[in-house]
Structure 1
Amino acid sequence: MNITRRHLLALSTSSFAAPAFAQTTPAWSAIEAKAKGQTVYFNAWGGAETINAYIQWAAGEVEKRFGVKVEHVKVTDTADVVKRVRNEKAAGKANGTVDLVWINGENFLTMKREGLLFGPFAEGLPSYALVDVHGKPTTRLDFSEPTEGLEAPWGMAQLTFMADSKRTPKPPRSLAELLAFAKANPGRVTYPRPPNFHGTTFLKQLLVDSSEYRSTFYKPVAMESFAKATTPLWATLDQLHPHLWRAGKQFPQNAEAMRQMLADGELQLALTFNPNDAANEIAANRLPASVTSYQFNSGTIGNTHFVAIPVNASAKEGAQVFANFLLSAEAQARKADIAVWGDPTVLALDKLSNAERARFAAKPLPGQVEKSAPAIPEPHGSWVEPIEKEWARRYGA
């Protein structure tokens, strides 16, 4: 990575305890002072009630503690936010409508390349000292693109499969087993239709699992060699599709639809990008307690999701204060709680105090992954668009 500076700063208030090893700095105090009274327009996906409720809680805490108001602007596609920032910058609008955005992958790559991001700021946040940059390298690497401090890590994700143990006691744990399982259970396996990100992630899983030259996908895509590099992926899909739900002629719109089809017995497998998703659904009585979660033994695609500040944000200081709170042990532990959201933390628990670490202690719940498999880093973000376009050309009609 190109990052060589790390500020170990601390936030010092009576209600938000900082780690003992951190130090308060005048620079951070100045940011806090300027942030007071600002309104942060946080553009984030608004498709899940649990996530929306968590953001509302975090916004309330930041307003109460630091005098920063946070408005959750609910979006369905982050690419639309990128376009808005681009258009506002092109129009010379110095005070943009987006102060903070929930982002990763190709959207981050686009904003970084086009100079649409403020920073670097992330490693100057006091709470960044707690991030597990060594054990979770994707906290500094977004779809194989160095973050260079332009976005702050927020949570972890990894492709995870679900199966009802009563109907599927031995689910497939490799690509070869998945192909065999689909053939033995015609119409009971599928994946979301790309460009839905769960569907695209499934394609990337098959891409890296079917190729002998995995390293190719961790460099920017070269279109002159794209066809050759992706030949194993299309060959695998050609084998798989005839055995899928509706013979691979139609696909569910999203992972939520697949999950419902699993609950209804229409499918034997579903997928998610949150290893705690099934546990959440079981706790909410939307899935039976017999549903289990697992990952391929050799590993599945994993990444980090982030928050970033546009270059023309109107409340840059307030955005940093909110991003810092989202990285705190308190906020991360609440986010990781199955009853709240169940989104895995980006923090290194061994960096926390005993009291902070205790916030993360919880007994395993039905539906959680019992043994995590290795996380396979995302291919470089530049591969996403050409893969989705080629998939649509081959199978989208």
Structure 2
Amino acid sequence: MRSRWIVLTCGIALALPGALAGCGKSEFLAGGKLHFTQGRPERALELFEKAVAEQPRNAEAHLWYARALAELERDEEAAAELKTTVELDALQQEMVDNTLLSYWSRRYNSALTFVQAGENARAEGDEALAVQQLERAEDRLRRAAVFTPDSVQNFSNLGKVLFQLGRRDEAMDYFKQAKQMSAGKPRLQAFLFTLFKHLGEQALQSNERASIERALVLMHDAEGLPAEPGPMLELHFNLGSAYYALSELDTLRTADHLVRAAEYYDKVLAQDPGDVMALENLAYVYSEQGRHEEALAVGQKRLDLEPWSEETHLLMVRLHTAAKNNRPANAHLLFSQMLRQGVRLPLDSIRADAGKWGPSADALKMLRDRGAPEERRSYTVGMTAHECWYYWTEGRVYFFQEGQEEFRIAFQGISREKLAELLAG
């Protein structure tokens, strides 16, 4: 999954008018500007220090002094000098804001470069390099915060870096602050939704209880933010999955977690009744709660949607087994085996083959009453041969052993187009 970061490019001109705050000209200031613009910040800093000492109330001198400090990454000193600039001349607020934003964007964008390098290194298996690059990203983001301490991007991305470094508790504190700061800012809220959802999904990949609990915190934070229906639907599914996973790890609260899992799968199905994974998981949740009739009803919906799926029939096997319905469980088990290993038989010989079982065979009666099926398969277990007749478009399947009906399974009939696809496979 691609990383989600906001990259800012600030093309902010740093040139200023020749004088500020009504102070007289300073040779130190003029010389410092020359060195600064020619890329010699160390020499510029020496001259700006003298300019400030010479004219301590010259706002322009403090502004250029702050710039030189920032170029040398003495960021806290630079921020203090910028504050002094405004105190000396409030009219220079815009100039100071531009300077703050310029140095913030440099630190921030360099942090994103280190993050990408860290993620690439981790993907290539070089964990030592990954940690090194992510720690550099942390440093750059903390420096960026010196210039813009109220930036949601700083808090959220610093949280992400700390999360990737395994410092999860620290990360959660930054995420909490970022969410609070994003109130009333739709663009930032959208960014945070995507970030929280992504990190929650990552944490959910672990089988550790602490990681899943962290995933829940992140995903609940995302849930409280505005989002498009599609991503919110995915989030609700993942929340259901997190609670379902936690029900196995936090055994003292298994019942509570199963209730929450069912709530979120229900939310998904309210928006998308055809979500087969939500149906499957909800059926399992109901089964574990002992709500076997409801579990089988949900499983039947899954069966109606994909009767050709081996996974669907294995689901029904487990649900019926849990409900102690052995005969239907065996029927679905045979169906799954027939789908996986059954041999297709020709339809043109079906009447002759059925006749071999005698005039009283159920198979022969089925032919008279329903006509030939749309597909026919056989499967042998040990010395026992089973034959299956599929009336796909009618939603009926019959199993025979030596011409006598063993089982039948009903589902919603499929379309002619889907039938053609199945028969061609």
What's the TM-score, normalizing by structure 1? Answer: 0.23
Greater strand share, structure number = 1
Higher relative contact order, chain-length normalized (CA < 8 Å, sep 6+): 1
What's the TM-score, normalizing by structure 2? Answer: 0.21
Greater helix share, structure number = 2
